[in-house]
Structures are given as structure tokens and as C-alpha cells.
Amino acid sequence: MDVEQLIRTIPKAELHIHIEGSLEPELMFEIAKRNGVSLRYRSVDELRRAYNFSDLQSFLDIYYEGAHVLRTERDFYDMTAAYLRRAEADNVRHAEMFFDPQTHTDRGIEFATVIDGIWSAMQDSTVDSRLILCFLRHLSAESAMKTLESALPFRDRIVAVGLDSSEVGNPPSKFAGVFARARAEGLRAVAHAGEEGPPGYIREALDLLHVERIDHGVRCLEDSALVAELVAKRIPLTVCPLSNVKLRVFPSMKQHNLKEMLARGLRVTINSDDPAYFGGYVVDNFLAVHRALGLSEDEVRRLAENSFEASF
């Protein structure tokens, strides 16, 4: 089979998708209009032109502004339903979606409004899906703990907790107590680490947060002992190639280390991260890697198998 055809048709699981990062500009403007929210961009095209990021923080600034249009349960439903339709088109059979409650509760939106809208869309989709509550690491551990407590009445809808937002200067160790509480409540754990932050952050996430997956993790290759541990323990790494290039983690896709990670025996998966901002969903990420680095049929199958084996 042609490799590109295989990429498009093979069943996949997506394990690293921020649902707020799937909010396409067209839907953002539609929601803003019905909620009476003003955007500083005059058109979809002008907004898309602003997606020229220099680093993670420059992306986050515009990401949080986009999320500001979300106000009602219908808004969260529409956003989630749109992502799940797109995932289905990519033959994503299972999705584990991050959501960022603090982005919304800190501006007065009720936790229930957020999760009810997302959950309703999940029930109406043919894609099997789960929710992972992410804590914003640039905020305090106290804020994260408060968010966890707000989530506990909805724990039957949440499979795990995660850690995202500005990595540099916000090590996983900052949230050790919150993650311990989450695990005690029966929630599983993942964390963003080793994207812009150093390999030591991956080590902290494993040793102090006791995570089962590392989100990104591309900088692990700088520490051979860490690589050996990740391989031995079969810790999955949810890599997001288009995101890594868009945020300048790698200068170009040709310089991405995904093929080397596979060759070293790491349990790599391919994901879309924030697809509305980074230029592509799961199939787009697979194709970008294949066209730049050349994926074999066996590697495509291994990546797809990894995604299901690494899922919750």
C-alpha cells in the first residue's frame, strides 16, 4: 500500500489534543458574534496571519485570547463537536482530549458549563473519547488544587490529570502535591515535559508526579540515561511534529528527531496538539513527517499501534 494512503486510512488514537486549541478561526468568529465578544482581528484571514509564533509563549498569548469567546455550554459543545468530526475524517477511533478549566473559571465561567458542553458533544460523536483535565502550570499550585476540587464531582467524566501552558520556569515539581491528591482520587496522570523545558523536567514528571505518559518529550534525547529508562519502562511520548516546528522547537521538519526517537526504541505517538493554530490535524502531522523524513509502512503501523497501546 502507498504510505500516504496508509496514513490516511489506518485507525489511530489521538492522545495529545487541547480541545481549546481546535477552535478554528471561522468558529471563533461565529461564537464571538453570537456572544457579543469583540476580537482585535477584523477577519479570519487577519487572525490566521497572526499565527506566526516565535515560541511557546507567543502562541499561548493568542490561544488564551481565542478561548475568551467561549461563554456558554453551546460554545463548548460546538467546539468539541467540530474537533470530533475532523478526527473521524482522519480515522481517529479514540481521542483523549485535554481541557483547561482555569482558562474559563478564572473569567467567571462555571466549571459545569465547560464540562457539560464538552461531554454532551462526546456523547453525540462516533469517536470514542476521554477527558484529561490539565492544570495551567504558570498559575499557582493552590489554584490547581482548587480546580481539582471543583472537578471531583465530575470525576466519572475525567480519566486523568495533566499539566500544560508555559513550561520554562514552571517545573513539574511545583505540582507534586496536586498530582498526589489526584492519584489518590483515582485519576491517572500525564504531563507536558521536555518541549521547551529541559530533560530534567521529564525526570521530575516521572519521579515526582508519577505520570504514565510524557506529552512532547522530544528533548529526552539529550539524556541517554533518561532515554534508556523511558525505553525500559515503555513510557509513551505524545509527540506533536507540526507544533514543534511552529513553536521553533525544531527549525524545520527535516530536523525533527521523531525518526531517531523511533530508532532508539522510544514509544512514540503522533498527535496534533493545537491543530487550529499549528496547521494540521493528525493525518496532516503524519504526512508532514513522512514527506520530510520518510516514514516506512512499518513505522506508520508502529506509530498507530503505539497510540492505542498508550491510551487509557
> Is 168 exposed, middle or buried (CB count within 10 Å of its CB: 0-12, 13-18, 19+)?
middle
3-state helix, strand, coil in the chain (%, to 5): 55, 15, 30
Record the cell numbers describing residue 193, joined without a space: 515535559
For 235-276, what is the HEC assignment? CEEEECHHHHHHCCCCCCHHHCCHHHHHHCCCEEEECCECHH
Cell of 297: 509502512
Strands (E), the chain: 12-18, 92-99, 128-136, 160-164, 188-193, 213-216, 236-239, 267-270
Cβ-proximal residues to 148 (8 Å cutoff; 6+ apart), any chain: 133, 135, 161, 178, 181, 182, 185
Could you give the CA distance from residue 307 to residue 269 in angstroms, rounded to a whole number?
A: 5
CA 260 from centroid of its chain's CA atoms = 22
- Work out whether the CA dihedral 51, 29, 139, 280 comes out positive or negative: negative
List of residues 6+ apart from 310 with CB closer than 8 A: 13, 15, 213, 236, 238, 267, 269
Question: Which cell goes with 123?
Answer: 456523547
Alpha carbon 140 to its chain's center:
21
Q: Which of 20, 195, 196, 204 is catalytic?
A: 195
Does 212 qualify as catalytic in the annotation?
A: no
Integer CA distances (angstroms), 271 to 117, 197, 224, in order: 23, 19, 24
Active site residues: 195
